[in-house]
Amino acid sequence: MRGPFPNPLFRPALRERGKRQAKRTLKAQRLTLNLPRIEYLSLAQMPVHRRDFFKLGAGALVSAAAPARAAARPARRPAPAAAGEIKTGGIRLIQVDGKYNVWTKKVGEGRIKVLTLHGGPGATHEYLECFEDFLPQQGIEFYYYDQLGSAYSDQPDDKSLWTVDRFREEVEQVRSALGLENFYLFGHSWGGMLGIEYALKYQRHLKALVISDMTASVASYVTYINELRKKLPADVIAVLEKYEAKGEFEAPEYQDVMLKRIYAEHLCRLDPWPDPVSRTFKHLATPVYNTMQGPNEFVVNGTFKDWDRWNDLPKIRVPTLLLVGRHDTMSVADIQKMGRAIPRSRVGVCENGSHMGMYDDQPAYFRHLLGFFRDVASGKMA
């Protein structure tokens, strides 16, 4: 739900009932303790605007002075609480592009600091919530971050915003606002593409890079996903082709095939899907996804369709971990090729995993990830 919940103090019936109850309580206290008469101030009588009410302490609701004295000397406004005193569970909104807010959340405390980039494009941080069961326990501090257009951040209706270059600059704005230096950047799927882009331009800020389940070009991805498609039964391929020819990608039969034959085999192999995964898909920002990728995994005609960084991989000089699942939508051979191209890299293959190995091959995934963090921190990846 967006916006504040209705405050009972602004409902007339509840407000009047609360005033009467307060008067009875104060009168009883005065008679029992021989206190001076206390005059109750209604919200209308308070010398502050209604929007400033929540900045005041409870003491502003009563005045110990006589009415005439109170009128002669208005109550002073307490200074607002310092921003640092307000606890938000680690959540912080960060302004990007001078006018939009993106959502971030800090989890844990530690010398190793990790900024996470979710996939999609247009997904949310939610499917990364399993990190909370592995990273903080190892003294690793990490940050969720919902990119612009995603469910927890602002969602402007402007297709010109959904480009790789603009998102790369957004990541740098978020890094700067969080004060991260010599930090670890983790990117999954589309977030891995974004991580590569960030490393190629802003490598000076990085301690290490994790590219999870992402190859070095969209063309390589399309080639491999279509190899997987060719292995489907002929009748299933016929269904896909029928609706793709008509552009009816939302047809129930088409979606049913995508879910059961593609996503269940190559995206997340658990049944049922973990709740964080389901919530992420429920909250997927389709305007961002459709603009950048296209209608689905097979039809890639969006703004990043020509993205290719194979020739630039040797320029990534920071320690890099490449993760992939044996049943992934990305080619294991492609990820291993990336490992040979990036000088200080290692490859982790999750043999039982798919695109979301952090769930369907969790032990292997976090063994690779945590081992990499430890080795970089101890200098073994120098």
Active site residues: 189, 328, 355
User: Which DSSP symbol is given to 97?
Assistant: T
CA–CA–CA angle 122, 124, 127 (5° rounding): 130
Looking only at the bridges linking them, the beta strands covering 62-63 and 320-325 are unpaired
Q: Coil, strand or helix: which one is 78?
A: coil
- Nearest alpha-carbon partner for 164 in 204, 123, 195, 210: 195
User: Which DSSP symbol is given to 308?
Assistant: B
Token pair, residue 268, equals 């997340």
Q: How far is CA 76 from the centre of its chain?
A: 42
> Could you give the CA distance from residue 370 to residue 1 in angstroms, rounded to a whole number?
35
Task: Look at the block and give the residue holding tokens 């769930």.
Answer: 359
Element (H, E) at 319: none
The region that residue 268 occupies, defined by phi over 0 for left and psi between -120 and 50 for alpha, beta otherwise, is: beta
> Could you give the CA distance from residue 167 to residue 162 in angstroms, rounded to a whole number?
7
> Within a 10 A sphere around the Cβ of 44, how many other Cβ atoms?
7
Burial (Cβ within 10 Å: 0-12, 13-18, ≥19) of residue 102: buried
> Could you give the CA distance from residue 267 to residue 69 in angstroms, rounded to a whole number?
71
Burial (Cβ within 10 Å: 0-12, 13-18, ≥19) of residue 311: exposed
**Are 316 and 202 spatial neighbours (Cβ–Cβ below 8 Å)?**
no
**Are 8 and 14 spatial neighbours (Cβ–Cβ below 8 Å)?**
yes
In angstroms, how far apart are the furthest CA atoms of the chain? 91
- Nearest alpha-carbon partner for 188 in 31, 75, 325, 85: 325
Amino acid at 32: T
